[in-house]
């Protein structure tokens, strides 16, 4: 149980284009989803927290107009990187938590983004 999927697993795009990444909880309802980015040999940095039906809460330094997050249902959250630039190239990972009081986050397999 507690499986989280991400799509696509990797994507290459041209600078200036937008990329959408999907995060799905397959066997549980995720009231809260988190989006992280991870640079090589570095830890996970939280970008934003989203609760179903609410606006996402962004961490300091993360541009909300550039990284659009939608959590429209209890099983799906999307991250859209708008007007992507090479510095946005990274490993993006989502996680999901089943209840507000839960401390356990289940992570997706990640999406590797390369912006040319």
Partner 1 sequence: QKEVEQDPGPLSVPEGAIVSLNCTYSNSAFQYFMWYRQYSRKGPELLMYTYSSGNKEDGRFTAQVDKSSKYISLFIRDSQPSDSATYLCAMSEGGGNKLTFGTGTQLKVEL
Helix (H) or strand (E) holding 47: strand 45-51
Maximum separation of any 2 CA atoms in the chain, in Å: 41
CB of 63 to partner 1, least distance (A): 18
Contacts of residue 61, defined as CB under 8 A and 6 or more positions apart, other chains included, come to: none
Q: What is the DSSP letter of 26?
A: S
Q: Tell me how far apart the alpha carbons of residues 35 and 108 are, in angstroms, rounded to a whole number.
A: 10
Q: Which of 29, 63, 102, 114 binds partner 1 (CB under 8 A)?
A: 102
Q: Which of 50, 79, 81, 108 binds partner 1 (CB under 8 A)?
A: 108
Q: Which of 15, 17, 54, 104 binds partner 1 (CB under 8 A)?
A: 104
4 binds partner 1 (CB under 8 A): yes
Q: Which of 56, 79, 81, 93 binds partner 1 (CB under 8 A)?
A: 93
């Amino acid at each position: 149980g507690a499986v989280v999927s991400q799509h696509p697993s990797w994507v290459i795009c041209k600078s200036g284009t937008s990329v959408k990444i999907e995060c799905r909880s397959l066997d549980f309802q995720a009231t809260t989803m988190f989006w992280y980015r991870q640079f090589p040999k570095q830890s996970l940095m939280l970008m934003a927290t989203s609760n179903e039906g609410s606006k996402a809460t962004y961490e300091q330094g993360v541009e909300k107009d550039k990284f659009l997050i939608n959590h429209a249902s209890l099983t799906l959250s999307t991250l859209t990187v708008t007007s992507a630039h090479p510095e946005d190239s990274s490993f993006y990972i989502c996680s999901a938590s089943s209840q507000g009081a839960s401390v356990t986050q289940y992570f997706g397999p990640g999406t590797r983004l390369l912006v040319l």
